[in-house]
């Protein structure tokens, strides 16, 4: 796996690059659709490729560990073969899901004990175990096992947690070095910067992560409830320190505006459940702004879903029809809206990349962030 | 609209025909996927055409009347345009759904008062109203407003109900004659034979319906809980009387075995929620028998979903993957299983037709009805 930095925008930190993996190349900046439990909800694999034009998707270690479990995934030859998806896959470490279940988990230096949301059974994740499971899943990009602090988080807790995340990272690297890729292709570990919203902690963590000289680096613990200004400020603090020649992945971010602003700060990779989750509730992201398709105003709007859209659903279905499907809770509505939103996110990143390459990124971005937040 | 009877099987009453509508031709025998509220659940319109290879689908008047309502459907230019589906559509009359809601409906000679399952509002369907609504939906084939008697049903009730259904049919024809097609293409009314499981009533009703000299005829009030023997016996009684040169539609039937047996009795058209409803619960119909894909035995079966299947999902996804998706309640699981089952139903009818044409239908059917009921 290697990253090529192809263009550096002159009036921002935005970059265009190419991440080369054994499952193909990823043009950055890129958005990664979330395929929680081995499926991008409501979307066929062919649609991930042909309609959404995703180049990499994300799987959740916590969910895949519980179901179908590593035994089935190993028997299948890894997640790619299990779901018949042959492009790169990144897995989170399971940490985020585990922490989200406050009350049913316990964090110690050794790891995290938690209870399954499926059957209440108890499990214990350690940095070593998180690596082993991700090896079994067969992720091209394996994420370090970290603690994702909540927001707000007091300084002392954030500092102690960051230090533990760093110690856990060392254990992750040791485990990576002591184990082999499971399925004959490279699996790379990305470490994660923590430090909540404290500049000095973020700087300390970024330096620690930069020093690991990893194939790529991630920023975690953001998009957890903090104001957008904090998200941008922390991202900027960190990208100033992380090596330029490595891809930077901002975890769990965000709205289309968040994406563009963070591309401008030098982020290359994103993931977020927002495009699919909001799709299921009728919120559509478009190049002209946000549509709540359940609103009465779309009831008799028989124009295409999104005339500027890049996927076939944008032109095949109308706003009125999608509204009807979502109002009646028909599965097809969720399917159409998810394809639309994900295709929009991917197209937005594709255009950002083209703008970086042709030198018009900042001007375009400044116009877009106004339009994208409009309510239509 | 007209029907061409192309082949008559020599050793059974099975027939191959062609029903020509303004939205295209339908090769019979045919199965019609159910698109309750303007969508075949979980299936894109292109998949209805290219994967399932449906030639006609069914819409439910009751559901479409409540949502999106005739005002929206008329503004769209009818259901075909609303959902962007350009092949023939048949609508039921709303009667069946209304009667299913025992307790919240009241039947009189004038019509049926019922309460919406969506918002509790009261509505009144009459034969005239059922025709008007189906005109507005824009169905190619409009079904008469009838009373579907439950099973069991005492003789006197069945007889009184049948007589009323006949009077309602006269009102339906009058309303058809007093109104025009809404969207420039032909809309044909199919009357419905009732009479519960009583031979003399079925005969009387079949004669009444045959005398209307309609473009097609339907058999209702079956597949409501009676044993298969009763279903076949009543179907035989009726097909002996209904005109041979007109298509015969057996409403709400059934399993793959039911379909083949009733094709042998001279039925040309079927609809049923079974392939989609059972798909959502993990029951797959295949040419080798029935699969409960949620069973543990499929957990590590990485063979294609159905090697004999006619849709791309059969070859793209594995049994183990579909099992996982349905166990985790992922929407994609329901989508895959629905496409599989519907494609299987359509392929079964296509093969039945080919067997009728080449003279091997009965021999093939007798073998298939054994295989189709096996549990794999």
Contact A302 B76 (CB under 8 A): yes
- Helices and strands per DSSP (H, E), number in chain B: 15, 17
Any known ligand binding at A194?
yes
Lowest mean pLDDT among B25-39, B86-100, B151-165, B262-276: B86-100
In chain B, which residue's Cα lies nearest the Cα of A73?
Answer: B300
Q: Report if residue A97 sits inside a domain.
A: yes
Mean pLDDT, rounded, for A29-44: 98
In Å, the largest CA–CA distance within chain B is: 61
Q: Which residue of A45, A46, A320 is in closest CB contact with B76?
A: A320
pLDDT 10s digits, B181-239: 999 999 999 999 999 999 999 999 999 999 999 999 999 999 999 999 999 999 999 99
What tokens appear for A89 in the block? 């896959």
- Chain B residues with CB under 8 Å of a chain A CB are 37-46, 63, 67-68, 72, 75-76, 81-84, 299-300, 302, 312-313, 316-318, 320-321, 324-325, 327-328, 330-336
Closest residue in B to A79 (Cα–Cα): B321
Query: What Å distances lie between residue B270 and A10, A279, B180, CA to CA?
Result: 66, 35, 27
Per-residue pLDDT tens digits for B310-320? 999 999 999 99
**Average pLDDT for A16-25:** 98
Does the pLDDT value for residue B102 go beyond 70?
Answer: no
For residue A322, the 8-state DSSP code is: H
- Quote the tokens at residue B133: 């609504």
Contacts of B71-77 with CB under 8 Å at 24 or more apart are B72/A299, B72/A300, B72/A320, B72/A324, B73/B136, B73/B137, B73/B138, B74/B136, B74/B182, B75/A300, B75/A302, B76/A300, B76/A302, B76/A318, B76/A320, B76/A321, B77/B138, B77/B183
User: How many other β-carbons are positioned within 10 Å of the β-carbon of residue B214?
Assistant: 21
Tell me the CA distances in angstroms from B97 to A225, A326, B62, B193, one per residue in order: 47, 22, 7, 17
Give ∠ CA A351-A194-A20 in degrees, rounded to 5: 40
The bridge status of strand B269-271 relative to strand B248-250 is parallel
> How does pLDDT run across A46-85, given as a tens digit for each residue?
999 999 999 999 999 999 999 999 999 999 999 999 999 9
Are residues A76 and B320, on separate chains, in Cβ contact within 8 Å?
yes
Residue B112 has pLDDT above 90, yes or no: yes
A155-178 and A127-137 helices cross at what angle (nearest 10)? 50
Are A44 and B328 in contact (CB < 8 Å)? no
pLDDT, one tens digit per residue, over A196-249 is 999 999 999 999 999 999 999 999 999 999 999 999 999 999 999 999 999 999
Closest by CA to B289, choosing from B344, B250, B353, is: B344
Residue A271 has pLDDT above 70, yes or no: yes
Does residue B234 sit within a domain?
Answer: yes
CB contact under 8 Å between A332 and B82, yes or no, is: no
Say whether B93 counts as a known binding-site residue: yes
Identify all chain B residues contacting A318, using CB atoms and an 8 Å cutoff: 76, 82, 84
Q: Nearest to residue B261, comparing CAs of B142, B184, B361? A: B361
Active site residues per annotation of A: 92, 271
Q: Which residues of chain B make contact with A43, given a CB cutoff of 8 A?
A: 332
Interface mutation target, options A36, A63, A68, A337, chain B, most CBs of B under 10 Å:
A68
The 8 Å CB, 24+ separation contacts for B108-112 are: B109/B164, B109/B167, B111/B145
Q: How far apart are CA B307 and CA B286, in angstroms?
A: 10
The pLDDT, as a whole number, for residue B294 is 98
Q: What's the gap in Å between the CA of A99 and the closest CA on chain B?
A: 21
Distance from CA of A101 to the nearest CA of B (A): 19
Q: What is the C-alpha separation between B261 and B266, in angstroms, rounded?
A: 9
Mean of the pLDDT values across residues B116-139?
A: 95
Is the distance from CB of A94 to CB of A65 less than 8 angstroms? yes
Beta bridge mates, A2: A20
Q: What is the mean pLDDT of residues A19-24?
A: 98
Question: B320 vs A45: CB contact, 8 Å cut-off?
Answer: no
Q: Check pLDDT > 70 for residue A321.
A: yes
Contact A339, A285 (CB under 8 A): no
Structural tokens at position B140: 């190619």
Residue A361 lies in a domain: no
- Domain limits for position A177: 2-272
Counting one residue from chain A and one from chain B, the pairs whose CB atoms sit within 8 A come to 123
The CA distance from A188 to B191, in Å, is 67
ipTM higher than 0.95?
yes
**Which pLDDT value is given to residue A102?**
65
Angle at B313 between CA B310 and CA B319, to 5 degrees: 110
Is A359 a domain residue? Answer: no
**B83 → chain A, closest CA residue:** A321
- Residues in A closer than 8 angstroms to B38, CB to CB, are 321, 324-325, 328, 330
pLDDT of residue A96: 83
Asked whether residue A303 is domain-assigned, the answer is no
Q: Is the pLDDT of residue B174 over 80?
A: yes
Distance from CA of B311 to the nearest CA of A (A): 14
> What pLDDT is recorded for position A80?
98
Q: In what order do the strands lie in the sheet with A105-107?
A: A105-107, A112-115, A122-125
pLDDT of B100 reads: 79
Q: Output the pTM of the full model.
A: 0.98
Mutation pick from A64, A81, A332 vs chain B, by most beta carbons of B within 10 Å, is A332
Does residue A352 lie within any of the structural domains? Answer: no
A9 is in an annotated binding site: no
- What residues contact residue B354 under an 8 Å CB cut-off, 6+ apart? none
Residue A321 within any structural domain of the chain: no
CATH number at residue A74: 3.20.20.105
The verdict on residue A11 lying in a domain is yes
Beta-carbon contacts of A108 under 8 Å, excluding residues fewer than 6 positions away, are none
Inter-chain touch B302–A75, beta carbons under 8 Å: yes
Chain B: closest CA distance from residue A304 (Å)? 11
Q: Does B69 count as an annotated binding residue?
A: no
Q: Is the pLDDT of residue A101 over 80?
A: no
Q: How far is B317 from chain A (nearest CA, A)?
A: 7
Number of domains composing chain A = 1
Q: Annotated active-site positions of B, please?
A: 92, 271
Q: Return mean pLDDT, chain B.
A: 97
| SS3 call for B303 | coil
Instruction: Point out the least confidently predicted range of A221-235, A249-263, B94-108, B262-276.
Output: B94-108
Residue B247 has pLDDT above 70, yes or no: yes
């Amino acid at each position: 796996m290697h990253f090529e930095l192809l263009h550096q925008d002159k009036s921002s930190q935005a970059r265009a690059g190419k991440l080369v993996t054994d499952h193909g190349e990823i043009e950055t900046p890129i958005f990664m659709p979330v395929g929680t439990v081995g499926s991008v909800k409501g979307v066929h694999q062919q649609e991930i490729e042909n309609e959404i034009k995703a180049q990499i998707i994300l799987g959740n270690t916590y969910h895949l560990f519980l179901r179908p479990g590593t035994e089935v995934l190993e028997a299948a030859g890894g997640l790619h073969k299990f779901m018949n998806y042959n492009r790169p896959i990144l897995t989170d470490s399971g940490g985020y899901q585990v922490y989200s279940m406050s009350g049913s988990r316990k964090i110690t230096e050794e790891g995290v004990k938690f209870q399954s949301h499926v059957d209440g059974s108890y499990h214990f994740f350690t940095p070593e175990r998180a690596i082993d499971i991700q090896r079994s899943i067969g992720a091209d990009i394996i994420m370090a096992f970290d603690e994702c602090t909540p927001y707000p988080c007091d300084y002392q807790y954030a500092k102690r947690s960051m230090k533990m995340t760093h110690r856990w990272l060392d254990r992750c690297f040791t485990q990576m070095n002591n184990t082999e890729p499971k399925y004959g292709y490279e699996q790379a570990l990305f470490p994660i910067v923590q430090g909540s919203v404290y500049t000095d902690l973020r700087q300390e963590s970024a330096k620690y992560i930069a020093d690991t000289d990893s194939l790529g680096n991630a920023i975690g613990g953001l998009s957890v409830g903090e104001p957008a200004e904090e998200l941008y400020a922390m991202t900027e603090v960190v990208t100033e320190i992380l090596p330029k020649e490595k891809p930077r992945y901002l975890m769990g971010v965000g709205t289309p505006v968040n994406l563009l602003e963070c591309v401008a700060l030098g982020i290359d990779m994103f993931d977020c459940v927002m495009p699919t989750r909001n799709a299921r509730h009728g919120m559509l992201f478009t190049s002209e702004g946000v549509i709540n398709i359940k609103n009465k105003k779309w009831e008799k709007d028989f124009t295409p879903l999104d005339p500027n859209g890049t996927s076939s659903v944008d032109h095949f279905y109308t706003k009125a029809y999608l509204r009807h499907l979502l109002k009646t809770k028909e599965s097809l509505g969720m399917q159409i809206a998810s394809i639309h939103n994900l295709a929009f996110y991917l197209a937005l990143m594709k255009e950002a990349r083209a703008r970086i390459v042709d030198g018009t990124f900042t001007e375009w971005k400044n116009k877009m962030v106004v339009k994208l937040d409009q309510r239509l």
